A and B are shown apart, each in its own frame.
Chain A
Amino acid sequence: MFRFLAIRFGRAALTIVLVVTFAFIVLRLSGDPAVAIMSPEAPPEALAAFRRAWGLDQPIWVQYFRYFGAIAQGELGQSMRDGRPAIVLVLERIPATLMLTIPAFILKVGLGVPAGIQAALHRNSFTDRAVMTMAVAGFTVPSFVLGLILVLVFAVQLGWLPSGGQESWRSAILPVITMGLGGAGVLARFTRSAMLEVLGQPFIRTASAKGVPWPQVVRGHALPNAAIPTVTIVGFMVGSLIAGAVVVESVFSWPGVGRLLVVAVGNRDLAVVQCILLLVACTMVAANLTVDLLYGVLDPRMRARKS
């Protein structure tokens, strides 16, 4: 078990380093922050001074090692735009993002998992077809299209809900639904196929043959087995709690981490972008690690393999 954890943590750390490195290189090759922040018409001396001030005149590998040295000391840099620490900028946006992503996550799981289970239990029935049609619609329609449709109907036409901003909790309803429906569709499809796979297993027939009533077969024998693959997708959704709202926050002009990311990328505000990416990588990796540990709890065969 210890060996297993050590390997997992090592791999997680490596993933984070790779993400940060990749982001560092791409950001520095894709545009000049001095021009983006100051303006292309700024005098060359001002631009040069800006580059010198932020160390952008150094070779890229020097910048890279400086950056990692700073991270090692817990220093994530300052925003090139207003000079405040990047981490502060990001942290003050997190509550707003979680206000959308956590209810959306609950909606995804609360809607997607039961719908998938019902579809599998009534395979090829009207319920199954209805659920699958909705699910396919839910995850093939891009979230910005769904978001705009919801705005048109509920904000513009009916006037029931605000179309954007963050005035009250009511502003959160449309973005939460937009994110929740897509995720619920993915989860419904996944849960359905996991359930169908399990329901076809011989041990389900054994349970019926020993007289277990069908609802108990489903609850006691099918669900615990179907949970194993479903947890992967749910874990992935947990991992995207921080950064999963980029598009939706933009559509609904919601002041969260996603919007900050879009603005910071546009400005080439390197420290802020890197800080967000680091945070996203960390949550993703933590979610994956949790999923791996959960596998062990759910599946005794995995426990055996690990120890």
Chain B
Amino acid sequence: MTHNLVTIRGLGVAFNGVPALRGIDLDVGKGEAVGLVGESGSGKSVTWLAALGLLPATAKVSGSVTLGHEELLGAPPARLDAVRGGRIAMIFQDPVSALNPVHRIGKQIEEALRLHRGITGAAARAEAIRLLEQVGIPDPRRRIDIFPHEMSGGQNQRVVIAMALAGQPELLVADEPTTALDATIQAQILDLLRRLRAETGMALVLISHDLGVVADMCDRVGVTYAGRIVEQAPADRLFAAPAHPYTAGLLAALPELDGPRRRLAAIPGFVPEPWAMPPGCAFAPRCPIASALCDAGPPPRASIGDGHEVACLQPSTPGVFAAASTPMTVRA
């Protein structure tokens, strides 16, 4: 892709010498919606916290993250402050604690307007009201002066999104934006994100452990496992024909609404601890089709056509995982 907005190459992060990311490669195109799925601790959030320089100073970050032609890793603080919220905005899981409890919501939105668009005073207030309206806060003229604790979680998340939109970013990174919310509110927030993307043309990175949400929202999906992206493909292709045994395992662990009732196939074993990584493929100890070769070294990510890349020596056809756990697959 020649028109990448963000290019991440070999991104590594270690906390106190323990690696959390072990070489993430990821591209986000202009206006593209990219999903990142994986278990907690697999590195999906850390990737973007590292890219934006939001990790504590104790984290050791290596590799490269470029925005257009600008390298973000090691960029001076003033540059990062201009990028954060201005070109790349990031929103987080728990909207209630994501807003400052002692400031009115309008003030928090106006702060972003002042920083990135130089709008202050009455103009900033008017624009903040417009943003609140855009994210679907009812009666924004009155609501602009309330405090975060006076709103529900879903409304807080709308305010957080309004704040992220204030800088007119080219990319919104949404880190589990609906995990802390009720199911009905989740759907509303996802609808909102979809509509805002259509209205503004911004790119979206949706970090989630919910495969359904990602399938629904994203053009392309990356699957993270133990600090690497093990498979990446257009969304429909990934879900129809997962090539990595881990992806296949994740999909087999999902209940099907319209299929026959069956026992869900859990992936046996656990994610390896970061300080005890297997020498080769991190998934090998849990993989039903692993061979001795898999322990030789981390498998490189290779294209298997149609924008589908997988880091596996034996990219498989769907069903491999379910077949391997036949004893657990019981027809009701």
Contacts and interface: CB of A to CB of B under 8 A. Distances in A.
Interface string B157-197: 00010011011000000000000000000000000000000
B77 A304 contact: no
A63 B150 CA distance: 54
A220 B147 CA distance: 16
Contacts of A213: 77-78, 81
Interface of B: 52, 54, 77-78, 81-86, 89-92, 94, 97-103, 111-112, 115-116, 147, 149-150, 160, 163-164, 166-167
Contacts of A210: 84-85, 89, 111-112, 115, 163-164, 166-167
A298 interface: yes
Given A208-B84, A211-B112, A203 B52 contact: no
A209 interface: yes
Nearest to A208: B54
Contacts of A299: 101-102
A39 interface: no
Contact of A212 (B83, B92, B94, B111): B111
Contacts of B83: 211
Interface in A202-242: 202-203, 205-214, 220-221, 224-225, 228
Contact of B90 (A209, A212, A228): A209
Contacts of B86: 211
Contacts of B81: 211-213
A304 B150 contact: yes
A229 to B, nearest CB: 13
17 contacts: A201-B97, A203-B101, A209-B54, A209-B90, A210-B85, A210-B89, A210-B166, A211-B83, A211-B115, A212-B85, A212-B111, A213-B77, A213-B81, A224-B103, A228-B102, A304-B147, A304-B150
A212 B54 contact: no
Contacts of B84: 208-211
B115 A301 contact: no
Nearest to A222: B100
Interface in A76-117: none
Contact of B98 (A203, A211, A228): A203
A208 B163 CA distance: 12
Contacts of B99: 203, 206
A300 interface: yes
B54 A301 contact: no
B149 A304 contact: yes
Interface in A183-216: 201-203, 205-214
Nearest to A199: B56
A300 B104 CA distance: 9
B137 to A, nearest CB: 17
B92 A225 contact: no
B82 A211 contact: yes
A81 to B, nearest CB: 53
B102 A225 contact: yes
Closest A-B pairs by Cβ, 4 of them = A211-B85, A210-B85, A211-B84, A300-B147
Given A209-B89, A212-B115, A203 B97 contact: yes
A11 B149 CA distance: 28
A50 to B, nearest CB: 60
Max chain A Cβ within 10 angstroms of own Cβ: one of B82, B116, B147: B147
B323 to A, nearest CB: 43
B123 to A, nearest CB: 19
B101 A300 contact: yes
A207 B100 contact: yes
A207 B97 CA distance: 12
Contacts of A225: 100-102
Contact of B94 (A202, A207, A208, A300): A202
Contacts of B77: 213-214
Contacts of B101: 203, 225, 299-301
Contacts of B160: 206
Nearest to A225: B102
Contacts of A201: 97
Given A210-B85, A225-B101, 19 more contacts: A202-B92, A202-B97, A205-B98, A206-B99, A207-B100, A209-B52, A209-B90, A210-B84, A210-B112, A211-B81, A211-B82, A211-B83, A211-B84, A211-B85, A212-B81, A224-B102, A298-B102, A301-B147, A304-B149
Contact of B85 (A203, A209, A304): A209
A224 B77 CA distance: 23
Contacts of A221: 100, 103
Contacts of A209: 52, 54, 84-85, 89-92
Contacts of A220: 103, 111
Nearest to B164: A210
